[in-house]
Amino acid sequence: MSLIQHIIDGQLTKGQSTETTPVFDPAAGEQTNEVLVGTPADIDAAVESAKRAFQQWSKTPPTKRAAVMFRMRDILDRRRDEVATTISREHGKTHDDALGEVTRALDVIEYACGIAENLKGDFSRDAATGIDVCGERQAIGVVAGITPFNFPAMVPLWMIPMAIACGNCFVLKPSERDPSSANLIHALYEEAGLPPGVLNVVHGGKVAVDSLLDHKDVQAISFVGSTPIAEYIYTRGCASGKRVQALGGAKNHMVIMPDADLDQAADALMGAGFGSAGERCMAISVAVPIGEETADKLVEKLTPRVEALKIGPYHQQGAEMGPVISRDAQTRIKGLIDQGEAEGAQVVVDGRDLKMPGYESGFWVGGTLLDHVTEKMSVYKQEIFGPVLSVLRADSYQQATDLINAHEYGNGTAIFTRDGDAARDFAANIQVGMVGVNVPIPVPVAYHSFGGWKRSIFGAHGIYGPEAIHFYTKLKTVTTRWPTGIRSGAEFTFPSMK
């Protein structure tokens, strides 16, 4: 068993931490490591390191910052199996799923490689007689990221490349449940030539989070997690005068029209609902078939697929789904299934009593399919964040869209149909930030931006892509006039370009 330490100013350190928290192998249910719990003093040290590094890093030409990103891209690509294994050991997701996470992280690093182009300003000559105007985007200083357990490499690498490519310095507070990926990311960036202090890692829980939110030298906070915590991060961070982007929870629906290819829809629901044991903010957790005939056929196709899910530890050949992250998560998910059944949902496939031979103490929940779910049930209202797919039958397309638009979350959604008119109407009028048409998990590519609507996000900017450039920089506009030998005397009217 090893101790996972902070990384401050390029050095592994215990800092002022005296407390630790256990890190588990979710498949075995056994403790494998322990991680330090950061103190306010540790946050102070990390922020001070980033603040010192900012003086030089912010003045480093964008092309040289991009060169670090190019090297990081090559290193991560070469060592993707190592990173994926590190993810899987502490999170529990399958190796192939972890490799997909690494690939998505690489996409954002590749986008950050083009930072010189994306930071180009604008210029207007002779905006008025003898006056030129230019606009430029400048780094904002020390920024921080608070990241979730479900994507311990991808989400930090949605934030870090964009932030530091823009010239900022970064303090990362990763999830204490699977912290090793964060330290490995730092090691890879160090190999890529990132100077000490540009990226710092402080582990811990609420004390570390609050210290970042309140710190006078932290200019911006990025967060991904549950909605209650996102709202807390946003409220407290804004009260401290910071920029905040806080991405929260989700209840993602897939509408299945009567004309849809039901085999395609069922396969899509399997991956979107049960991949990573449903521990994704973009997981499809609610299938909304239109009409009883469509619903009956869909459930008929889903049932054997859910029953046949290949569940096992991450290293097991052919495993499609692993355990959930913790004993608490396992208990909560099973409790919600119990509650759904008590409220009238039909448990078509029951994953509550799954036993994994050789891993009996692991945090296992089998794939679960619930039918005849209604909008009044707890399993519909709450984000389960587990391998549970609910079928909520709708009488019409209008009822389905009204249902989605009425939900407090608006992260992602999808429609499966052959009807272009229905698809176009759905994309235009659904009140959700990310929409898929025959695409079950509509996570945007890296040169677009990720972000939901309603209570799935707090703050004005999405994460990565063009939105990240605006979040991690501030606009400065410079108006210039050089002496020409002509004096016109003092002017007391409001300046204009006439």
Helix (H) or strand (E) holding 311: none
Q: Which residues contact 109 (CB under 8 A, 6 or more apart)?
A: 69, 72, 73, 76, 157, 161
b/e sequence 88-124, b meaning 16+ C-beta within 10 Å:
bbbbbbbbebbbbbbebbbbbbbbbbebeebbeeeee
Which two tokens mark 329? 């998560």
pLDDT score for 488: 67
Note if 281 is an active site residue.
yes
pLDDT score for 497: 63
| Contact criterion met (CB below 8 Å) for 213 and 233 | yes
pLDDT score for 459: 94
pLDDT score for 490: 77
Residue that has been written with the tokens 């779910």 in this structure? 373
Residue 53 CA from chain centroid, whole number: 26
| Contact criterion met (CB below 8 Å) for 413 and 429 | no
Output the CA angle 46-47-48, nearest 5 degrees.
Answer: 90
pTM: 0.95
Side-chain half-sphere CA neighbours of 412 within 13 A: 26
pLDDT tens per residue across all 498 residues of the chain: 899 999 999 999 999 999 999 999 999 999 999 999 999 999 999 999 999 999 999 999 999 999 999 999 999 999 999 999 999 999 999 999 999 999 999 999 999 999 999 999 999 999 988 899 999 999 999 999 999 999 999 999 999 999 999 999 999 999 999 999 999 999 999 999 999 999 999 999 999 999 999 999 999 999 999 999 999 999 999 999 999 999 999 999 999 999 999 999 999 999 999 999 999 999 999 999 999 999 999 999 999 999 999 999 999 999 999 999 999 999 999 999 999 999 999 999 999 999 999 999 999 999 999 999 999 999 999 999 999 999 999 999 999 999 999 999 999 999 999 999 999 999 999 999 999 999 999 999 999 999 999 999 999 899 999 999 999 999 999 999 988 766 667 777 777 766
